[in-house]
A and B are shown apart, each in its own frame.
Chain A
Amino acid sequence: MTALDTEVRTADAPLTIAGRALRSRLMVGTGKYRSNEEMVAAIEASGAEVVTVAVRRVDLDRSVEEGVLHHLDPERYLLLPNTAGCYTAEDALRYARLGRASGLSDWVKLEVIGDEETLLPDTEATIRAAKELAEEGFKVLAYTNDDLIAALRLEDAGCAAVMPLASPIGSGLGLVDPFHIRTIKARLSVPVIVDAGLGTASDAAVVMEQGVDGILANTALAAADDPVRMSRAIGMATEAGRLAYLAGRMPKREFAVPSSPTTGMLDEG
């Protein structure tokens, strides 16, 4: 078997959302990096094509942050403006429309938060906003709970992808409920991207082994001691988990089964 054969036998179809084939199943955020230089290096190392950004007021005194567009090439990355920080459907619509008015992307990562302490989503408001945005022609990727009914309603609302959480935003707890994530994946036709809560590379692999279509991670990369190494690790783990899912794992047994032959031993009668 040649190296080319191996390539062919391990090939995977690209993740495709709203008709666009993406070069990676990992999407990454741009928040919380210690510097813009580190952010750019980490995103490059992750292999991600879809990159989320937030919409905020320009600092007219220029004392704090300059825009992310000074550092990221919109030709190389597909920008995914989010509605982070919005607590009502109306605010989310306003932020989504501002993001699209940049002229750089008609995709939106819709999130409507329902509770300040847990940052868990307000699914009712999210569904309402998703319907409106989809009607306006947005490609809506909606952040939601790991709840099947909310996910189905978001698909019905016209979302291009549905993004259930692994665990609360920024928690690093990893996938707390594989069963509900698998249930959502089994029932939806649009891509399922698990968003929020990953902490390290093994979390990404476990999520992808559930059979979902992709992952979105931010804090796991940005808050690592070395974001560039962690970004590469999570990129590799996303691929590894996907491949393991496609390969189909062996059944679990609570007893040992030898992996070497039990016959042909020396001194056999």
Chain B
Amino acid sequence: MAEIEVTVNGDLRRIPAGLTVRGLLSHLELHPGMIVVEHNRRILRKEVYDDVDVQPGDELELVQFVGGG
């Protein structure tokens, strides 16, 4: 299966080619409801996760709420 290289949270990763953002979250076993995605410095609304393809060289930030003051 073809793979591509992308940067996720600052680290280079090889992932299967042809994934949407939602597909990437599933691949990483992340629950979309708990995550916010920034794709090439643009924040994605959850409604478009199925419509946005992950391309070679993309930079993704996957963030969540953690404890803080």
Which residues of A does B touch, CB under 8 Å? 29-33, 39, 52-58, 60, 65, 67-70, 79, 81-82, 84, 97-99, 101-103, 169, 196, 216, 218-219
The CA-CA distance from A98 to B69 in the complex, in Å, is 17
Contact of B68 among A52, A58, A69, A98 (CB under 8 A): A52
Q: Say whether A101 contacts B28, CB under 8 Å.
A: no
- What residues on A are CB-neighbors of B35 within 8 Å? 58
- What residues on B are CB-neighbors of A82 within 8 Å? 68-69
Q: Say whether A57 contacts B68, CB under 8 Å.
A: no
- What residues on A are CB-neighbors of B61 within 8 Å? 57, 98
- What residues on A are CB-neighbors of B10 within 8 Å? 57
Q: Say whether B65 contacts A58, CB under 8 Å.
A: no
Q: Say whether A98 contacts B67, CB under 8 Å.
A: no
Expressed in whole angstroms, the minimum distance between the Cβ of A245 and any Cβ of chain B is 25
Q: Nearest B residue to A109 by beta-carbon distance?
A: B69
- What residues on B are CB-neighbors of A169 within 8 Å? 69
- What residues on B are CB-neighbors of A218 within 8 Å? 68-69
Q: Which of B21-40 contact A (CB under 8 A)?
A: 28, 30, 34-36, 38
Q: Say whether B43 contacts A102, CB under 8 Å.
A: no
Q: Say whether B67 contacts A97, CB under 8 Å.
A: no
Contact of A58 among B43, B45, B62, B67 (CB under 8 A): B62
Q: Say whether A98 contacts B36, CB under 8 Å.
A: yes
Counting residue pairs across A and B whose Cβ atoms lie within 8 Å, the total is 92
Expressed in whole angstroms, the minimum distance between the Cβ of B40 and any Cβ of chain A is 13
Contact of A55 among B9, B46, B63 (CB under 8 A): B63
Which residues of B does A touch, CB under 8 Å? 8-11, 28, 30, 34-36, 38, 43-46, 61-69
Expressed in whole angstroms, the minimum distance between the Cβ of B36 and any Cβ of chain A is 5
Q: Say whether A53 contacts B68, CB under 8 Å.
A: yes
Q: Say whether B43 contacts A53, CB under 8 Å.
A: no
Expressed in whole angstroms, the minimum distance between the Cβ of B17 and any Cβ of chain A is 19
Q: Say whether A70 contacts B34, CB under 8 Å.
A: yes
- What residues on A are CB-neighbors of B9 within 8 Å? 57-58, 60
- What residues on A are CB-neighbors of B43 within 8 Å? 97-98, 101
Q: Say whether A31 contacts B64, CB under 8 Å.
A: no
- What residues on A are CB-neighbors of B69 within 8 Å? 29-32, 52, 54, 82, 84, 169, 196, 216, 218-219
- What residues on A are CB-neighbors of B62 within 8 Å? 57-58, 60
Q: Say whether B68 contacts A101, CB under 8 Å.
A: no
In the complex, the 8 A-B pairs of residues with the closest C-beta atoms, listed nearest first: A54-B68, A29-B69, A218-B69, A67-B64, A30-B67, A53-B65, A31-B67, A31-B68
The CA-CA distance from A81 to B63 in the complex, in Å, is 12
Q: Nearest B residue to A79 by beta-carbon distance?
A: B65
Expressed in whole angstroms, the minimum distance between the Cβ of A85 and any Cβ of chain B is 8
- What residues on A are CB-neighbors of B34 within 8 Å? 67, 69-70
